[in-house]
Structure 1
Amino acid sequence: MVAQELDYFRAIIQADMAPLAKVTEVSELTSLSKQLNQQVFLKREDQQPVYSFKLRGAYNKLRQLPKGSKVVTASAGNHAQGVALSAAHLGHQATIVMPVTTPDIKVNSVRNLGGEVVLHGHNFDAAQAHAYALTEQQGAVFVPPFDDPDVIIGQGTVARELMQQLHNLDAVFIPVGGGGLLAGMAIYIKSLRLDIKVIGVESAESACLDAALKAGEPVELDQVGSFADGVAVKIIGKETFRLAQKFCDEVVTVSSDEICAAVQDIFVATRAIAEPSGALATAGLTKWSKQCGQTGLKLAAVLSGANLNFDRLRYIAERTALGAKSEALFGVTIKEEKGSFKRFCHALGGRAITEFNYRYAGEGDAQIFVGVGLRGGQPELDEVKSVLQTNGYGFEDLSDNELAKLHIRYMVGGKPPVPLNEHLFRFEFPEYPGALARFLETLGSEWNITLFHYRNHGAAEGNVLAAFDIAPEQRSLFNLHLAKLGYKYWDETNNPCFAQYLRNQELEKQQAS
């Protein structure tokens, strides 16, 4: 190990987190241990005063400064609270720049901890640029969220405690956003035990470390998802990547549904409600354990935070069964006749129907949207598909179809009674005043909106489904307006859900002929 890494290791050993940061507990996830046939433990950073590990890095950075220093940072969440509390405790003046889309619970928390909040911009990049400007204007010290040696050292104290609390570990799973926690923990663990696997876990929607490892250097992602907002980072830090490249053995990426299932696993064992990024490492542990081909291992994951908007629980609960493979969603074609629903249920062999959506749309065939309860995971899902095929049902497995999970299952209505040149789009909407008006001004005043569905999930971004009646010769002009709007979107016109439940293809064919 080179001198620079030894300096990190020694600094982590010597870092005094008292009295502000707690020595957090380790909990065994007994039900998950039995399910996976492993020993699964959880390092409970949700027990920190700000309910997140971020306090450690912020405190270690700020305790190096003379009392009364001015500090500035940009953050939409846990780092902001860590800086605010640390500054108040040490006698510093903290200014935290947050996007205007930041949920009130986080803004109020930072203010209650003594930080001055400046709301600026509709995304993190805009907030960070303003924070840099304020730093220069005030002659202040900027406090980075992850790519800073003092911050990395503070986060590394999580590993120092974990190694004292648990012995003979086989692997440690660490959530990755900008990489500060992974870098600090990895260098400490590998300094003591090279045989312990250090595994980073990323959301599939923001896998910046995985992208950097493949490229051999940090690369900026085109876009990141907002569900696990605590790790929604476009590019990993330079120093955190250097350390991760040396000391991280493997990276696992997980879906939003797998994260939701991990939130439930943590709750069942501890009654703690993790935020999505807080449950990330547990989701990775579960996925890796099922694929590694070994049992009887001693595994630990970090519960990195529990700052969750209460509104988001609805979304998490809805997606948990899909993530745990205890529910599947199907679009099925059945005969439009008496007794067809009864025959369909009988074909499923007594399996629980968790959801059944149907609307009469004329004679012939009916399109139903159905949820089926599963107890045997993927093998049972394959069995259900075989049963449907054997009984002559046309079907689509919609369990991994975002359009189905976000919108179709909640929509009521049918197909339009007149032929339309409909094009369907799924948007991610920023949740700030005027966002909907901007959408309508940019698109709605030019083209007729034929379908609109929106649900608020308590996040900084909402999900919108909208269809437009667009003449073929107008499509290129519409694309220009989409670009002007600037919202993330997906063209769902060819999604099978659109044809099955929302589009009147028969009338469209008649019009074309």
Structure 2
Amino acid sequence: MLEHYVKKILTSRVYDVAVETPLQPARQLSERTGNQVLLKREDLQPVFSFKIRGAYNKLAQLSAEQLACGVVTASAGNHAQGLALAAKHMGVKATIVMPRTTPEIKVNGVRARGGKVVLHGDSFPEALAHSLKLVEEKGYVYVHPYDDPDTIAGQGTVAMEILRQQPAQLDAIFVPVGGGGLIAGIAAYVKYLRPEIKVIGVEPEDSNCLQAAMAAGKRVVLPTVGLFVDGVAVAQIGEHTFAVCRQHVDEVITVSTDEVCAAIKDIFDDTRSITEPAGALAVAGIKKYVEREGCVDQVLVGIDSGANINFDRLRHVAERAELGEKREAIIAVTIPERPGSFKTFCEAIGKRQITEFNYRYHSDGEAQIFVGVQTHPENDPREALLASLHEQGFPVQDLTDNELAKLHVRHMVGGHAAAVPDECVFRFEFPERPGALFNFLSKLGGRWNISMFHYRNHGAADGRVLAALQVPHAQRHLIPEALDAIGYPYWDETENPAYKLFLG
């Protein structure tokens, strides 16, 4: 299998439109980790992503008759732009079916490169079904974003360049994983020529389709897929890609949203470029791997796979980066409700910088304050802060890993509601499209009163919503059926300590 792929990679026709990207040293990251970290800058491709390689190579392998029929694909991301540019270069008609929730920057990117955009459905499966329908109706040739040997071979040219650019010591290559086209191409080439080099996949914790498949020994379908790292939001690894990965990928590391945001900042600090969340996965994986293994003086390559990020999302990234770097702790502290309490608490914090402070009067006895405090992973870790406050007699709860606190409560702290009986609290992910809120309200109906609601735009394809419903205990059993009918992912947060401390 590997020899077959290596031959296809060596004969791939990608450089008519793609460029050989640099393998750039990340100086600050290298110093911090004690290893030589190199970034493969695929964000510098003409479509700001590696996807142009596989898309063009697939078209280059089609016959004249197939090209004359035109091509079609379903994609909400970088493959769409790569195929549009590849088709334009070859004079081929390309139709790209995209969900209506696709960020405008990506829709405009496809149109600017000559692709015909068809907006259909509210999710990728709906767009995919429509694209396959067009194949039947119009006779188009379908170009898969990752699960095709020619696409895999095109992506494998990334590895060909890396081994040429770094012929000496190279210990591991870290690769972002969605459907698996990039890591399959890299693993096939690297393991055939230099099998001692580790090939390590990196996935978000909430979109780990390759990790799940490798654990099960077969392809599995994830029940839900996280949307923050939208470039790799895939529920099932590809069939062709898994055939390579299960034999030749050394391991898969998963990382959190906060760790991805921190990695975006790391890349910016070293390159002054802003990558998309998927593009930062490899760096997040490198940092986690180094911390786990304690390795030094190794040469580690991270694939910076793309830079197609909505500008609006940077606000959310900046908020979460410090948490991902373990340079900020979010805590809830109880202090006496009397003059001088704030001063006493600030003295207990010491010289640490307070990054956020939220408070509203609740009762005469004690006050709950929501605080962000600057920490340092080595010199002043979060654990030391918590221990210090406990020793000084302050009841404190760590909310640093509490999604409800980070997404909603920090923007809502304003005091407890009085006399709101039977309140149940849920966190939702809404599709970011017109009518989403109306759909929620209409399907919920007038059965239960909405006692709390918070929404904040993050510049992504999904909106994050916190809502509370007043549901009598005798009707609690009806909640799952009612919420499932709405069709949005949700989590029950009624017992979340952040809600109870500041909003309940």
Please, what TM-score do these two structures have when normalized by structure 1?
Answer: 0.96
Cα distance change on mapping 1:54 and 1:147 into 2, 3 Å = same
Q: What is the Cα deviation at residue 47 of structure 1?
A: 0.6
Residue 307 of structure 1 aligns to a residue in which SS?
coil
Residue 311 of structure 1 aligns to a residue in which SS?
helix
The aligned residue for residue 509 of structure 1 is none
The aligned residue for residue 28 of structure 1 is 25
The aligned residue for residue 53 of structure 1 is 50
Structure 2 contact 274–307 (Cα < 8 Å) conserved: yes
Structure 1 contact 325–378 (Cα < 8 Å) conserved: no
Alignment of 1:74-473 (within 5 A): 74-167=74-167, 168-377=169-378, 380-443=381-444, 445-473=446-474
Structure 2 contact 12–57 (Cα < 8 Å) conserved: yes
Q: What is the Cα deviation at residue 305 of structure 1?
A: 0.3
Structure 1 contact 310–458 (Cα < 8 Å) conserved: yes
Deviations 1:89-110 (A, max 9, x none): 1111111100000011111110
Letter in 2 for 1:309: N
Letter in 2 for 1:115: G
Deviations 1:368-387 (A, max 9, x none): 00001012459621111111
User: Where do 4+ consecutive residues of structure 1 move more than 3 Å?
Assistant: 376-379
**Aligned partner (choices 7, 15, 18) of residue 18 of structure 1:** 15
Residue 21 of structure 1 aligns to a residue in which SS?
coil
Deviations 1:284-318 (A, max 9, x none): 01110111122000110000000000000000000
Structure 2 contact 13–60 (Cα < 8 Å) conserved: no
Cα distance change on mapping 1:378 and 1:133 into 2, 3 Å = farther
Q: What is the Cα deviation at residue 19 of structure 1?
A: 2.0
Which segment is superposed worse, 441-450 or 186-195?
A: 441-450
Measured in 1, the distance between the counterparts of 2:467 and 2:420 equals 17
Measured in 2, the distance between the counterparts of 1:379 and 1:190 equals 41
Q: What is the Cα deviation at residue 345 of structure 1?
A: 1.1
Letter in 1 for 2:48: Y
Q: What is the Cα deviation at residue 417 of structure 1?
A: 2.0
Measured in 2, the distance between the counterparts of 1:88 and 1:377 equals 51
Residue 296 of structure 1 aligns to a residue in which SS?
coil
Letter in 2 for 1:56: R
Measured in 2, the distance between the counterparts of 1:63 and 1:227 equals 33
Structure 1 contact 120–130 (Cα < 8 Å) conserved: yes
Structure 2: 5+ residue stretches without partners = none
Measured in 2, the distance between the counterparts of 1:90 and 1:194 equals 36
Residue 311 of structure 2 aligns to a residue in which SS?
coil
Letter in 1 for 2:81: Q
The size of the alignment, in residue pairs, is: 500
Please, what TM-score do these two structures have when normalized by structure 2?
Answer: 0.98
Deviations 1:55-80 (A, max 9, x none): 00000001112253410100001000
Letter in 1 for 2:107: V
Q: What is the Cα deviation at residue 140 of structure 1?
A: 1.2
Measured in 2, the distance between the counterparts of 1:456 and 1:245 equals 38
Deviations 1:211-236 (A, max 9, x none): 00111000000000000000000000
Structure 1 contact 208–220 (Cα < 8 Å) conserved: yes
Structure 1 contact 325–377 (Cα < 8 Å) conserved: no
Measured in 1, the distance between the counterparts of 2:445 and 2:328 equals 37
Structure 2 contact 376–382 (Cα < 8 Å) conserved: no
Measured in 1, the distance between the counterparts of 2:189 and 2:440 equals 49
Measured in 1, the distance between the counterparts of 2:139 and 2:303 equals 36
Letter in 2 for 1:48: Q
Residue 452 of structure 2 aligns to a residue in which SS?
strand
Letter in 1 for 2:49: S
Which segment is superposed worse, 61-70 or 279-288?
A: 61-70
Measured in 2, the distance between the counterparts of 1:147 and 1:419 equals 52
Letter in 1 for 2:479: F
Structure 2 contact 420–470 (Cα < 8 Å) conserved: no
Measured in 2, the distance between the counterparts of 1:92 and 1:322 equals 46
The aligned residue for residue 36 of structure 2 is 39
Structure 1 contact 71–95 (Cα < 8 Å) conserved: yes
Q: Percent identity?
A: 55
Residue 388 of structure 2 aligns to a residue in which SS?
helix
Cα distance change on mapping 1:426 and 1:378 into 2, 3 Å = farther
Letter in 2 for 1:273: I
Residue 453 of structure 1 aligns to a residue in which SS?
strand
Residue 68 of structure 2 aligns to a residue in which SS?
coil
Measured in 1, the distance between the counterparts of 2:71 and 2:45 equals 22
Which segment is superposed worse, 346-355 or 52-61?
A: 346-355
Q: What is the Cα deviation at residue 26 of structure 1?
A: 1.3
Cα distance change on mapping 1:378 and 1:480 into 2, 3 Å = farther
Residue 333 of structure 1 aligns to a residue in which SS?
strand
Which segment is superposed worse, 444-453 or 69-78?
A: 444-453
Residue 373 of structure 2 aligns to a residue in which SS?
strand
Q: What is the Cα deviation at residue 394 of structure 1?
A: 1.1
Letter in 2 for 1:411: M
**Aligned partner (choices 4, 7, 20) of residue 7 of structure 1:** 4
1:73 paired with 2:57, answer no
Structure 1: 5+ residue stretches without partners = 504-513
Deviations 1:381-439 (A, max 9, x none): 11111111101111110000000000011114221221411000000001111110011
Letter in 2 for 1:238: E
Residue 331 of structure 1 aligns to a residue in which SS?
strand
Cα distance change on mapping 1:465 and 1:377 into 2, 3 Å = farther
Residue 333 of structure 2 aligns to a residue in which SS?
strand
Residue 465 of structure 1 aligns to a residue in which SS?
strand
Structure 1 contact 68–91 (Cα < 8 Å) conserved: no
